[in-house]
Chains A and B, each alone.
Chain A
């Protein structure tokens, strides 16, 4: 027993190394530039692929291996510099939401580039012969390479400490993490400093991927898997704290190492509980500093467009009338696409309730769509429940999930909130993915068909139209009710809102739950539309789709999410049909949109109109 515990402990320590490298890079970059780099997981993935290529060319000797690792880190560092100079440098003054979305565009592009260069199959990296064996510790065999990684973690930690404490560059990085305005007032060019920091952070992520290669084959899922874990690590450890990143990486890796042998599903619960305890006790993380949590004003603060109030009801009614007549004009396929658009319109409107009205950046809204979909599907699958009951259960399941996660989320703001929502979404995704006995894992749940009376696509279309538009109308009603105004008031000025007697945290919590419930209804409808549910519905790309819908339509425009949902859902279906490289195209569209049309389609059009009218 003791030997087993020791062996698991060592495995955990070894797992922590790569996670620490990624999280440390993320943390250093955020500390100085205030950018949360979503593409950090992609840098990690590139590190692994590049090492594979270098090792296969250079050979598998010990020296060659380390040269390959170092080279991979340097190349990734250079790619990081490219991303910083070409993209982020233009966005430092933009809201945090733009940083996250733009760097997610980079994630998509890197995914397709990686696919094109290295192919879809997992690439098993050769382990250098000298590191291939194992030694026996208390009767359990431990791979030598694990021991190397166990030593590497503290070594890098020490190296970073020296760099940050003993070099002028490090002093500047630490000074800028505290007060970058003062640093510039003392004559330091921030541009240069930011680029250098980005190189360092990307180098660390690349290094993390490189040293992970002998333990885990390079694959195309590495990027999002590690970034979600790195977010967890950074939130627990404290943004900007390297020591905190190491500590938190150890905690998470050990939780996994021990959880996996007891019950894999328990691991997720443990991770969640650890996050909950840390965030309640120390919202700024274990070794973080309280003052680090200051966020820029919430996105989209500005006058709400007036005309929408007057024209909202007629526009909505006219759209409903047109949609009601649609079955006369299109075939079954067209109806199914439109049904999907309607579901995502509800999803986007509910996300807007949190982000646009509430000023809380959620990066994990797919969780609630997914909880609704799985809630409905599980009820049908395990209890043979009818569609009607499942559609009632779906929003309840999602609403309860949103109440639980939201309780923690509303304690944070800005990017911390964004990272936390993403981490929670990833926890639900992992639950769906891993819990084979209950959720079917990646085989999903099949055979979720509507009740016989609604089986006809036309009827189901009308069911969806009715429920979605009713839910959207309800959210709009809430938006313009005192509750919605209180939520907006808290977004506009938290100080003032609290001073007139608004309990900001409770208001946000309730809004979170409300939006989650609405998204859950969408999830239930989605399950019966597709006839099946897979973990994909909970995955990060769905959350990001929701964000892109909002950005396209304009974060604050009332009708924006509807325009965005139609454009993204329709665009995606068309793209997937037209090109293999749809991810890269989508990524490029996202990046281009953030750079050139930050106000979205509706905003751009309105500005054009506005010139003539005001």
Chain B
């Protein structure tokens, strides 16, 4: 049985159909990329899955449960973790505290008024920070971290919720190309070790084709193609939507290995 099943998902903004009835699945342990040119509806699709937006129509099933239209906290408790295009962390806290809050939320300890957060789940938090390579920065306020490290921290925060599925919106956006492969390799190892599934959007094609098990292509709110990376790479329709025409049409001499 697939872990995540999306059927007929749709969302319109004032007459513009941003996501127009899209359907796909994610299997346990799979890393799936959603790509598409600007305005294809990737972000809207992601916000529908992450509970930031409510769909107009469609059905989302996660682990056999219908989670359509659930709010983010409920999704988190159900086992869906999330990272954002612009890294979202708690800016007034240290790296460790960021993870500790997420642990406290996961263990439903938020209403605790009397114990101090500083002493709870410290070892666990440090293990997570170590796993993303931030052990040395545990006591740093996050405002002192470089942006690439914030992305790593966000990953640790998302993992602290013990997710089964990670939704990552542009995991490498805003960080240097040299650090992208390292970050994605880290994601790859972490999810493999924990048996997680990942659904991510990405515009760096090296990242997509280097790390995705499967690629979904969106165009104008709809699903254009869904398949293995090699097939997507050679799919003429995919080439067209990215260039507005085939290379021949554009006037570029075709040929050579793609």
Contact = CB atoms under 8 A, between A and B. Distances in A.
Q: Do chains A and B touch in the complex (CB under 8 A)?
A: yes
A167 B91 CA distance: 45
24 contacts: A302-B91, A304-B92, A306-B141, A309-B118, A481-B116, A482-B101, A482-B112, A483-B112, A483-B113, A485-B101, A489-B93, A491-B92, A492-B91, A492-B93, A493-B90, A495-B88, A496-B157, A498-B71, A499-B82, A499-B84, A499-B88, A499-B158, A502-B105, A503-B73
A302 B143 CA distance: 8
A40 interface: no
B168 to A, nearest CB: 12
A269 B217 CA distance: 56
Contacts of A499: 50, 72, 75-76, 81-82, 84, 88, 158
A496 B72 CA distance: 9
A489 B73 contact: no
Interface of B: 50-52, 71-73, 75-77, 81-82, 84, 88-93, 97, 100-102, 104-106, 109-118, 120, 141, 143, 154, 157-158, 160-161
A508 interface: no
Nearest to B80: A499
Contacts of B116: 477, 480-481
The 5 residue pairs across chains A and B that have the minimum distance between CB atoms: A501-B76, A496-B88, A498-B72, A303-B141, A482-B104
Contacts of B101: 482, 485-486, 489, 500, 502
A184 to B, nearest CB: 23
Secondary structure of the A contact surface, majority rule: helix
A365 interface: no
A301 interface: yes
Contact of B90 (A309, A488, A501, A507): A488
Interface in A533-592: 556
B136 to A, nearest CB: 17
A496 B89 contact: yes
B115 A482 contact: yes
B118 A480 contact: yes
A501 B92 CA distance: 19
Contacts of B141: 303, 306
A503 B105 CA distance: 9
Which range contains the number of A residues in contact with the other chain? 20 to 34
Interface in A489-532: 489, 491-493, 495-504, 507, 510
Interface centre among B72, B76, B97, B111 (most CB of A within 10 A): B72
Interface of A: 301-304, 306, 309, 477-478, 480-486, 488-489, 491-493, 495-504, 507, 510, 556
A477 B91 CA distance: 21
A481 B104 CA distance: 10
A392 to B, nearest CB: 19
Contacts of A486: 101, 104-105, 110
A502 B88 CA distance: 14
A502 B91 contact: no
A268 B152 CA distance: 52
A171 to B, nearest CB: 22
A301 B88 CA distance: 14
Contacts of A488: 90, 92-93
A303 B144 CA distance: 9
Contact of A481 (B77, B88, B93, B117): B117
Given A482-B109, A500-B157, 20 more contacts: A302-B91, A302-B143, A303-B141, A306-B141, A309-B118, A477-B113, A481-B113, A481-B117, A485-B117, A492-B89, A492-B91, A498-B71, A498-B73, A498-B76, A499-B50, A499-B76, A499-B88, A500-B76, A500-B158, A501-B102
A301 B91 CA distance: 7
Contact of B84 (A304, A483, A496, A507): A496
A304 B160 CA distance: 23
Contact of B161 (A301, A481, A501): A501
A505 to B, nearest CB: 10
A360 B77 CA distance: 26
Nearest to B71: A498
A77 to B, nearest CB: 37
B134 to A, nearest CB: 16
Given A489-B90, A500-B160, A480 B117 contact: yes
Interface centre among A480, A485, A492 (most CB of B within 10 A): A485
Contacts of B81: 499
A496 B93 CA distance: 13
Contacts of A304: 92-93
A70 B67 CA distance: 61
B100 A485 contact: yes
B15 to A, nearest CB: 16
B211 to A, nearest CB: 22
A507 B113 CA distance: 12
A303 B140 CA distance: 10
Nearest to A359: B92
Nearest to B167: A499
Nearest to A303: B141
B76 to A, nearest CB: 4
B88 A485 contact: no
Contacts of B115: 481-482
Contacts of B110: 482-483, 486, 502, 507
Contacts of B97: 485
B119 to A, nearest CB: 10
B103 to A, nearest CB: 9
Given A481-B117, A495-B52, A501-B76, A303 B88 contact: no
A489 B143 CA distance: 14
B50 to A, nearest CB: 7
Nearest to A494: B88
A495 B113 CA distance: 23
Nearest to A482: B104
Nearest to A556: B92
A504 B122 CA distance: 24
Contacts of B102: 500-501
B146 to A, nearest CB: 16
A503 B106 CA distance: 12
Contacts of A498: 51, 71-73, 76
Nearest to A493: B88
Contacts of A556: 92
Nearest to A501: B76
Contacts of A492: 89-93
Contact of B105 (A302, A484, A500): A500
A482 B120 contact: yes
A264 to B, nearest CB: 40
A488 B142 CA distance: 14
A504 B102 CA distance: 13
A488 B106 CA distance: 17
A584 B158 CA distance: 52
Contacts of B104: 482, 485-486
A326 to B, nearest CB: 30
Interface centre among A481, A491, A500, A501 (most CB of B within 10 A): A500
B151 to A, nearest CB: 13
B31 to A, nearest CB: 20
A510 to B, nearest CB: 8
B104 to A, nearest CB: 4
